Amino acid sequence: MPWLLFALALTALAVAFKTPSVALLVTCLLLALGAGLTGVMQLLARRVESRSRDEGLMLHPDELRRLREQAEARKRAAANTDTAH
């Protein structure tokens, strides 16, 4: 979709350079600017989305706390067995 917007912007620029009408020139230049900026924003949004993590894979804070408590309990148990020997 962004490439279609870039093609639209390029077409609008071509029309703007060829037209003798000032109103059409201004309209085409505004269209070219809007389509170009929208295309760039869509490309940036795709890049950010491709680099972001899936929210479904994130742990709930309660689950994270439970895992930390389990890890601390294992450390304490390992420390107790080391000091007992």
Number of folded domains in the chain?
Answer: 1
Please compute the mean of the pLDDT values over residues 64-71 and round it to a whole number.
Answer: 93
For residue 6, name the pLDDT band (cuts at 50, 70, 90). very high
Domain range for 48 is: 2-52+60-84
Query: pTM of the entire structure?
Result: 0.62
CA distance linking residue 5 with residue 45, whole number of Å? 15
pLDDT at 40 over 80: yes
Please compute the mean of the pLDDT values over residues 16-42 and round it to a whole number.
Answer: 97
Task: Tell me which of 14 and 54 has the higher pLDDT.
Answer: 14
3-state helix, strand, coil in the chain (%, to 5): 85, 0, 15
CA distance linking residue 9 with residue 45, whole number of Å? 19
- CA proximity to 11, closest of 27, 26, 32: 32
pLDDT at 85 over 90: no
CA angle (78, 80, 85) in 5-degree steps: 100
- What pLDDT score was predicted for residue 68? 93
